[in-house]
Amino acid sequence: MSFDLVFFGGTGDLTWRKLMPALFQAFRHGKLPAGGRILAVARDERSDDEYRAFIQERFAEVEPSKRPSDEEFARFAALLHYRRMDLSQPDDYTGLKVWLDSRAADTKVLYLATSPHLFPVICEQLGAAGLNGPDVRVVLEKPLGHDLASAQEINRVVRSVFSEAQAFRIDHYLGKPAVQNLMALRFANALFEPLWRRESIANIQITLAESIGVGTRGDFYDRTGALRDMVQNHALQLLTMIAMEPPSSSDADAIRDEKLKVLKSLKPFTAASVARDVVRGQYRAGTVDGKAAVGYLDEVKVPAGSRCETFVALRTEVQNWRWAGVPFYLRTGKRLAARDAQIVVNFREVPHPIFPGTTRANKLVIKLQPEDGLELHLLAAKGSGQGDALSPVSLDLDFDKAFPTERVGAYERLLLDAIAGRLNLFVRSDEQEQAWRWVEPILSAWRDDGGDLKTYAAGSWGPPAASALVARDGFAWAEEQ
Ligand code: BG6
């Protein structure tokens, strides 16, 4: 199957930091279909060779095991092309069409890795140039809007040019191997399904913690904040994967229908419940990984006195028969104690403990980062001859060890899926809009009353109020258990 892959925003950070390295990995692993062309488009004038040299230089910033040797890069670079385009100029799209039509690739994947405010104009121009035929797919990178109205406007324009089946909305968390394994765990194994409900599960915690700060993205981040950057998309997508009903098939829409139902079942926020159930925080100076870290307000390009949140913890519920009353806690933040993304399913305690001493509920930990694995925490007898005392133990599955040669990174997987036309791991417009609808009352509560902005030291697990949120229900975050 031959493909042409076009990156709008071809010299931007996303392209050289994530997309090119991912494509190179696919190429190195022999997974990239043969006969492909990769075209980067951007504003400035450069030749193909100059662009290739630009990408090769940028590879120096990629982790060493993922860098190409000169010989590997030379082979990969043969696929790379560059084209100057002014994205507001219809003629430039006609030129692009001529370039693409110079051969009949089976698939044309147009990846919008630009600032999202350009999405409408790019889509309209693509449509006007006839670059929206059935062989065309459009890939949209987040952020897709900054609230419900702006997301709906982007979707309206996209839909006026492309069908839903042509639109690939990326949430790169869905490409992470652990997330696909969550689907396998739930729907390819009969073991957990009978337990996957309110009768057996006490609470579910989703933590997306980063130890990095906002780096040089202070201006972007300050307009965005953790709620829009991580909760509306990544955290909610993980929640849907945990809470969804078994789909009737593995078709993209069968899966996405079930995810949408979860989003629609989320308990809506009111101003009062935002004040009670959402904690909003911003980091102050502290120590991360043994190094001093400045506070958010001292990061470059962050406006003085900013009240932007770099941390969110919240409590919600999925209002249906399976989950009624089970708290779902979501938490994300920058400059936290560790880079740690995980979902913890805390089971209920035994109804009648007969062993003295330790009682501890079972938990299943689905680890996304830094390593990718599963841990099932149990209690076991040590057999040390000291009465019936029990010890916590865990069954650990390390996927990198289990499948040492086959692991594929999130962007690699999603790019290959976009080329192959598999929509399962992409977000449908109604899901995305529903997620915005749910987040809106939080945004407006914060806007209306300024919200209570807590602070936390860089290198901690966030404001104490985040612990109190969980403690109120008689529970604790995983690291406090
Ligand atoms: C992005 C956010 O979507 O996800 C970033 O915009 C964040 O702020 C990143 O750092 C985290 O992704 P990952 O894969 O490194 O956990």
The label of the residue with tokens 């492309």 reads 162
* C-beta neighbour count of 347 within 10 angstroms: 16
Average pLDDT estimate for 78-105: 96
- Report whether pLDDT(385) > 70: no
| Boundaries of every domain in the chain | 3-169, 174-407+451-480
Residue nearest to atom 2 of ligand 1 (CA): 229
Q: In what order do the strands lie in the sheet with 373-381?
A: 390-398, 373-381, 363-369, 340-347, 201-209, 328-333, 311-316, 278-284, 453-457
Nearest to 103 by CA among 2, 223, 254: 2
- CATH topology for 3-169 is Rossmann fold (3.40.50)
pLDDT tens per residue, range 217-237 = 899 899 999 999 999 999 999
For the whole model, what pTM was predicted? Answer: 0.96
Distance CA 201, CA 345 (A): 7
Residues with C-beta less than 6 Å from any ligand 1 atom: 210, 229, 341, 369
Are the C-beta atoms of 231 and 332 separated by less than 8 Å? yes
* C-beta neighbour count of 318 within 10 angstroms: 25
Residue nearest to atom 15 of ligand 1 (CA): 210
Strands 136-140 and 167-169 come out as parallel
Q: How confident is the model at residue 387 (pLDDT cuts 50, 70, 90)?
A: low
Spacing, Cα 308 to ligand 1 middle (Å): 17
**Does 174-407+451-480 match 3-169 at the fold level?**
no
Whether 234 sits among the annotated catalytic residues: the reply is yes
Residue nearest to atom 9 of ligand 1 (CA): 230
Residue nearest to atom 10 of ligand 1 (CA): 210
Please state, rounded to an integer, the average pLDDT across all residues of the chain: 94
Which one of 179, 210, 237 would you pick to mutate in the ligand 1 pocket, going by the greatest count of ligand atoms within 8 A of its CB? 210
Spacing, Cα 394 to ligand 1 middle (Å): 29
Distance CA 317, CA 296 (A): 31
pLDDT tens per residue, range 194-204 = 999 999 999 99
Is the backbone of residue 75 left (phi > 0), alpha (psi -120 to 50) or beta?
Answer: alpha
* Whole-Å CA distances, 457 to 213, 311, 320, 428: 12, 11, 38, 37
Classify the C-alpha dihedral 144-146-148-154 as positive or negative.
negative
- CATH topology for 174-407+451-480 is Dihydrodipicolinate Reductase; domain 2 (3.30.360)
Of residues 172, 234, 352, 377, which has the active-site annotation? Answer: 234
* Percentages (nearest 5) of helix, strand, coil residues in the chain: 40, 25, 35
